[in-house]
């Protein structure tokens, strides 16, 4: 199918990886190991990564309506990149997706579902996937790449949200986290110059890694103040599925548009907050 071609109801390709609320913690952790074993932490996608745009997105719904045509995008159009974020509202979860092509917002989709999983560190993807999968079913365009607000391979069992969703949907995916969940930075993370990458290697906290020295992601300094008086912390980028670690860092760097976070997840975060406000009260 051509890049970004329209379709409806994006459903799991691997339904066995959809979380079961009745499963025990041990079963959930075992499922994460299966997900990590099924993940491809190497480039396996059909788009030109150099064509991923760094152009600032338009933030108006007019651009969404103008760009959504019955014919869909042409073969020469840039890849369709979606940002995915989530929010929580009492006993409900919000899944929010913003789709961009060439830096332009072409669609937004969301879902609000009842929460079925408690907050358990290391198993957060189980709490979040219900709303995210429902939001993907409401998405009309077919994404070429998904950028998740959360970890991918940088996870105790190498199966963070980006890996869990990427494998379940068989979608090229990248995780971008604001904090480091596990692993060992291979250098100082203090006051890094903009553009710096510091490898994150597996350590004893990553139980599924073949080698404790395996690079599972990068601390990426996407932005930094010119003055030494204030500092911006790096983000933590890791492969989710069908994207290699180095390529993941390249793509995230290309997708940042003057901000610390990549534009797709930055917009998805804002959209999740908007949906949350609309459903409050």
- Cα–Cα nearest to 160, from 148, 145, 142: 148
For residue 56, the 8-state DSSP code is: P
CA dist., res. 239 & res. 45, Å (int): 13
Q: Is 114 annotated as a binding residue?
A: no
Please check whether residue 200 is in contact with residue 154, taking contact to mean a CB–CB distance below 8 angstroms.
yes
- Cα–Cα nearest to 272, from 92, 145, 119, 127: 92
CA dist., res. 40 & res. 113, Å (int): 29
Please check whether residue 210 is in contact with residue 233, taking contact to mean a CB–CB distance below 8 angstroms.
no
CA dist., res. 260 & res. 176, Å (int): 11
Q: Is 191 annotated as a binding residue?
A: no
Q: DSSP characters for 171-217?
A: --EEEEESS--SSEESS--TTPPTT-EEEEE--TT-TT-SSTT-EEE
Known binding site for Mg(2+): residues?
85, 149
Known binding site: residues?
85, 149
């Amino acid at each position: 199918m051509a890049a970004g071609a329209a379709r409806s109801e994006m459903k799991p390709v691997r339904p066995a990886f959809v979380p079961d609320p009745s499963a025990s913690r041990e079963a959930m952790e075992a499922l994460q190991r299966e997900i990590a074993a099924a993940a491809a932490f190497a480039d396996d996608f059909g788009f030109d990564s150099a064509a991923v745009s760094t152009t600032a997105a338009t933030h108006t719904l007019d651009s969404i309506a103008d760009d959504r045509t019955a014919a869909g995008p042409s073969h020469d159009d840039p890849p369709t990149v979606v940002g995915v974020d989530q929010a929580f509202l009492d006993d409900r979860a919000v899944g929010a997706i913003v789709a961009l092509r060439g830096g332009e917002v072409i669609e937004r989709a969301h879902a609000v579902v009842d929460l079925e999983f408690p907050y358990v560190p290391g198993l957060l993807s189980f709490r979040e996937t219900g709303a995210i999968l429902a939001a993907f079913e409401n998405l009309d365009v077919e994404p070429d790449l998904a950028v998740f607000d959360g970890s991918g391979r940088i996870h105790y069992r190498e199966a963070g949200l980006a890996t869990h969703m990427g494998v379940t949907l068989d979608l090229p995916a990248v995780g971008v986290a604001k904090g480091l969940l596990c692993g060992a930075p291979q250098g100082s993370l203090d006051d890094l110059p903009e553009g710096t990458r510091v490898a994150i290697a597996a350590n004893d906290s990553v139980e599924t890694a073949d080698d404790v020295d395996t690079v599972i992601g990068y601390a990426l300094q996407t932005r930094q103040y010119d003055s030494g008086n204030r500092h911006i912390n790096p983000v933590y980028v890791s492969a989710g599925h069908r994207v290699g670690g180095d390529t993941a860092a390249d793509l995230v760097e290309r997708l940042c548009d003057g901000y610390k976070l990549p534009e797709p997840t930055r917009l998805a975060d804002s959209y999740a907050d908007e949906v949350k406000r609309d459903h409050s009260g």
